Structure 1
Amino acid sequence: MEKAGFGKWVLGAFFVLFVLFLYGPTLTILILSFQGPEGGLTFPMRGVSLVWFRRLFETQAVGDFGGSLTRSLLLAFLVMMATVVVSLAAGLAFRRRFAGSGALFYLTVASLIVPSILVSLGIGILFNQLGLDTAWYSSGLGAQLTWTLPFGLLIMFAIFNRFDASWEEAARDLGATSWQTFSHVVLPIILPSVVGVALFGFTLSYDEFARTLLTAGVDNTLPLEVFGMTTNITTPVLYALGTLSTALSFAVIGLALGAVAVLQRRRARRLSG
């Protein structure tokens, strides 16, 4: 019993250290973003205030916070929509074997093991060879989809592998068309998972750096803008930006989890009713 108790304490301490390792830098940035007007980039803190958050919305000598944030949000939304549509369509298609399905699957998943910077370089060179300008909404979108689509596809595979096809058969026996079966039977059941795919697509795109580095063109997304500012801005305004962007990420996650909870409650009511 004593050995078991000691082992639990050791595992608990290891878990705490692991959490501190993961979230310690984020907590440090969060704390330092609330420094006073004379504050710097390191400890000790010089006062406590919201001055750096106010200055974040003022005109900066270098950098474009507002423009880069807007581009990142728009790009994340486009990636989210494309990931949901393509992953859902692929999940439905792969429920049955077809010619080339194996090769197509491995080709899709292979982008996860290719170094991100090489994907970015390859897409940038391709656009250059085609005489097209790289931009965050074209080449940047394509580069990020090579990152989000495999995750969405794997989630859809997991969902449809345990999907009970007898529900669809029952709907067809009652005279439902293929579209009615999908919209009234299949989609409501898998909708929480679709929300999860959307969350994956949005969050993976919002903070993606490597695959956007050589494909965003002349207009930076927020991660690229922050990276460029690290050599120019020497005030906690950069920390304030990190705190707000992290808060936005948690807000998106909270909305997604809330949507899943609402969908599950509605499904439970329908089943009980």
Structure 2
Amino acid sequence: MGEKRGWGYYALATFFGLFLLFLYGPTITIFVLSFQGPEGGLVFPMRGVSLHWFQELFKGIGVVDIGSAFVRSIKLGLVVTLLTVVLAVSAALAFRKRMAGANALFTVTVASLIMPSIIVSLGIGLSFRLLDTGLGHLFESAGWDWAREHFTTTMGMYTSALGAQLTWTLPFGLLVMFAVFNRFNPAYEEAALDLGASPWQTFRHVVLPLIGPSVVGVGMFGFTLSWDEIARSSQAIGDLNTLPLELQGLTTTVTTPVIYALGTLTTIVSFIVVFLALGAMRLLSRKSKAA
């Protein structure tokens, strides 16, 4: 404890401090500028301190309904979270046993992480447009006039946009669960089965409590990645935008700190999700150790 620290320690500490400033500096700047007074602008110096721009935000920004976009993003994020958790855990359980084509399936799934996001979005959007064209021809050839007249598109929040976001969240979930089960001791399962538990009872009462913190972590990844996603949703979203897409569009039209107020609120939501997930992970970890 009494040893003097060399220059290398202070150099690395300075570098790390500059990295943190680079990483969080823009967020802190937006947070501070969002609390300006009514005469405030988009840059420093600040002109007063108030909640004026948050009040303006809740009144609405032009023709954009921020409240509806916010709710849409929350709903889509929850669906993405649920599917990511279920599919990631199920796939990780399946990959514990040998099966034909496992390596190819894993490679195809993880490959979406290294593909350019905009290419994935364009591909999904094009696929759904081709599907729309095919369904239009089908309705016309089958003589289903009512369906042909009322049909618009299969693209939407819970079809193409959901699939686009899963190409981003699911590989992360799979990698986390694969790492978890690589360290998982199967002796616990074998003991439960020897005592007469069914496979479902073994998973529910033995496996799930042990992997619970990791499952919560996968859910946190799924929601936060969906909440902030832009590129993969941009060409596959359909008629209604999520909040990040609306925010991206507003950056070119809104010239008041109200855009900073919106950024502050979206960041707060992300931090709330992270803290809730960390709290749940800690609680589940304590319960599993106590058991």
Q: Structure 1 length normalisation: TM-score?
A: 0.96
The residue that corresponds to 1:55 in the other structure is 56
How far apart are 1:182 and its partner, in Å?
0.8
1:22 to 2:23 alignment? yes
Tell me if structure 2 keeps the 8 A contact 1:139–1:215: yes
CA RMSD of aligned residues (A): 1.1
How far apart are 1:221 and its partner, in Å?
0.4
Tell me if structure 2 keeps the 8 A contact 1:62–1:229: no
In the TM superposition, structure 1's runs of 4+ consecutive aligned residues that sit over 3 Å from their partners are none
Gaps of 5+ in 1: none
Secondary structure of the residue aligned to 1:57 is helix
Give the counterpart of 1:158 among 167, 179, 184.
179
1:217-246 Cα offsets, whole Å, 9 max, x none, are: 121101100011112111101100100110
1:224 to 2:245 alignment? yes
Tell me if structure 2 keeps the 8 A contact 1:144–1:208: yes
The residue that corresponds to 2:222 in the other structure is 201
How far apart are 1:97 and its partner, in Å?
1.4
Tell me if structure 1 keeps the 8 A contact 2:60–2:66: no
2:178, 2:93 → 1: CA distance?
Answer: 9
Give the residue type in structure 1 aligned to 2:94: A
How far apart are 1:135 and its partner, in Å?
1.3
The residue that corresponds to 1:183 in the other structure is 204
How far apart are 1:60 and its partner, in Å?
2.7
Gaps of 5+ in 2: 133-152
1:140 to 2:141 alignment? no
Tell me if structure 1 keeps the 8 A contact 2:118–2:232: yes
Tell me if structure 2 keeps the 8 A contact 1:73–1:206: yes
Alignment identity in percent?
61
Tell me if structure 2 keeps the 8 A contact 1:33–1:240: yes
The residue that corresponds to 2:11 in the other structure is 10
State the number of aligned residues.
269
2:242, 2:28 → 1: CA distance?
Answer: 23
Structure-to-structure mapping, 1:77-92, within 5 angstroms = 77-92=78-93
2:88, 2:60 → 1: CA distance?
Answer: 41
How far apart are 1:116 and its partner, in Å?
0.3
The residue that corresponds to 1:212 in the other structure is 233
The residue that corresponds to 1:233 in the other structure is 254
The residue that corresponds to 2:280 in the other structure is 259
Give the residue type in structure 2 aligned to 1:242: G
The residue that corresponds to 1:106 in the other structure is 107
Give the residue type in structure 2 aligned to 1:95: R
1:164-222 Cα offsets, whole Å, 9 max, x none, are: 01111111110111111111111111011000000000000000000010011121101
Q: Structure 2 length normalisation: TM-score?
A: 0.90
Give the residue type in structure 2 aligned to 1:152: G
